[in-house]
Amino acid sequence: MEELLDFTTGMSLALLALVLFSIRRQHIRVEYSVSWFGAALSLLVLSQWPAALHTLAGWFGIGNAPLALIFIVGTLFLLVLFRLSVIISDLKDANIALTQRVAILEYRLESVHGQKATQG
């Protein structure tokens, strides 16, 4: 149990450092780092505060604290990944609409140029 909690603490600190480093190097935007920060901080708190972990394990009906920790880690990362899927879907929709709009505007611009050339 102790080793697992220490490993989780290390993993949370590494994740926090990675997110901060990525923001500083502008590899990740601040608004997309919030969910990773939330996940890393939650894990840090749980790994440093075993009483809270036992309480949560009780809420979920899991008698084994390490198993509860793995369950919570999995759930948190699934939530973060789901949020990212929503964001990616929005971005894809926007990209498609923009691509279509650019193509249509280019087409209409060429038509106008063609008409002007014919008139001139």
Closer by beta carbon to another protein, 55 or else 99: 99
Closer by beta carbon to another protein, 27 or else 92: 92
CB of 77 to another protein, least distance (A): 23
CB of 87 to another protein, least distance (A): 17
Closer by beta carbon to another protein, 64 or else 115: 115
CB of 101 to another protein, least distance (A): 8
CB of 99 to another protein, least distance (A): 5
Quickly tell me which residue has 């601040």 as its tokens.
30
Residue 96 burial class via C-beta count within 10 angstroms: exposed 0-12, middle 13-18, buried 19 and up: exposed
Residues in contact with another protein by the rule CB under 8 A: 95-96, 99-100, 102-104, 106-107, 111
